[in-house]
Amino acid sequence: MKDKKIFVTRSLMPSYEEYIDAIKPLWDSHWLTNMGRYHQELEEKLKRYLDVPQLSLMVNGHMALELTIQAMSFPEGAEVITTPFTFVSTTHAIVRNHLRPVFCDVKPEDGTIDESKIENLITECTVAILPVHVYGNICNVEKIQEIANKYNLKVIYDAAHAFGVTYKEKGIGSYGDASVFSFHATKVFNTIEGGAAAFSDHFMYDKLHDLKNFGIRGEELVTDVGANAKLNEFCAIMGLCNLKHITNAIFCRKMLCEEYEKQLKDVPGIRMFKKKANVDSNYGYFPILVEKEYPLERNMLYERLKEAEIYTRKYFYPLTSDQSCFGNQFGKADLKNARELAENVLVLPLYETLTMQEIEKSVEIIKKMRV
């Protein structure tokens, strides 16, 4: 019998019976959207689980980020310092708000924004810093906040990779002015599609409510110009079901990551990212760096694993700043570390139902690979 394909990720899902039983009341109520019972319940439970002061559920993580930026009412054309080593959504959310991204290089040891290079990029046009927690590796939140306070800037974290991560026993979403999470099907926790913005300013909740619901405040009252970014009840119920299983899922991921680390730590040319102290991880991804000492380049290893039906991901490649939609306007930016990571990083398969035997299959190929 042919071995099954091993994909880079697999969605967390409850049992079929659990989900079907949970959605049955929708056939009685016919209330499918517009922030119903399950939307409200999930919002409250996520606020507690993520340990954040305020939380607003959204249809997806991108709209959560785009509307959070919009809610802060920055002047058109202002600059936002961010990272190129991220999914393109981060940059799109800035640009779609008619703001200019200013790219800062990252640290090679963990892929997060290099806080030591932020101040040199600040101008009179700078209004915010938008760092990204990468693969669950968190940014230097203390130093970034210190810089923001010094220059009176907002800090908005893209925390799409950081669901459930805590730092110094605080939810990572409680740092900065706002943090945005993704609940996409590929994430540690999913609502099929979904996302949320976390923040401390209670006025933000009303602003985001208006922006995600057309500005509707009554049957005959529209107080603001808004979009439609509400999470529906089917997705909210999937989130409520998955939240019951998330602790076990993260524990399983932890065990799998430790196995990868044990088997790969002495392989020449394979490097793993440095861990930060005082962080409880969500073990959302297992990235490796394929460096010069390894006999194959990253792309060749990617292809060899693919031939064995092991599907990895060059995540993030190419850099957001180098995507064709931006032309070559950021080509001269000093992004040496980010470009090197983009050329060398490979994310290996990781999900809670991955087996130790499947890890061994991947590792065996990595260890034995020759040109």
pTM of the entire predicted model: 0.96
Q: pLDDT at position 4, please?
A: 87
Q: Angle, to 10 degrees, between the axis of helix 298-307 and the axis of helix 356-368?
A: 130
pLDDT at 369: 78
Whether pLDDT at 108 is above 90: yes
Strand partners, 158: 132, 180
| Domain locations in the chain as residue ranges | 16-240, 246-368
Report d(CA 146, CA 331) in Å as an integer: 29
CA atoms within 13 A on the CB side of 111: 31
Cα 149–Cα 153–Cα 156 angle in degrees, nearest 5? 105
The pLDDT tens digits of the residues spanning 197-217 come to 999 998 999 999 999 999 999
Q: How many Cβ atoms are within 10 Å of 100's Cβ, its own excluded?
A: 14
Q: How far is CA 225 from CA 65, 69, 75, 204, in A?
A: 17, 15, 17, 15
Q: Which of 291, 349, 47, 65 is nearest to 173 (CA)?
A: 47
Asked if pLDDT for residue 1 goes beyond 50, the answer is: no
In angstroms, the Cα distances linking 294 to 7, 254, 262, 343 are 23, 26, 18, 14
Which superfamily does CATH assign the domain made up of 246-368 to? Answer: Aspartate Aminotransferase, domain 1 (3.90.1150.10)
Looking at residue 331, what is its pLDDT? 80
- Right CATH for 16-240 from 3.40.50.620, 3.40.50.300, 1.10.10.10, 3.40.640.10: 3.40.640.10
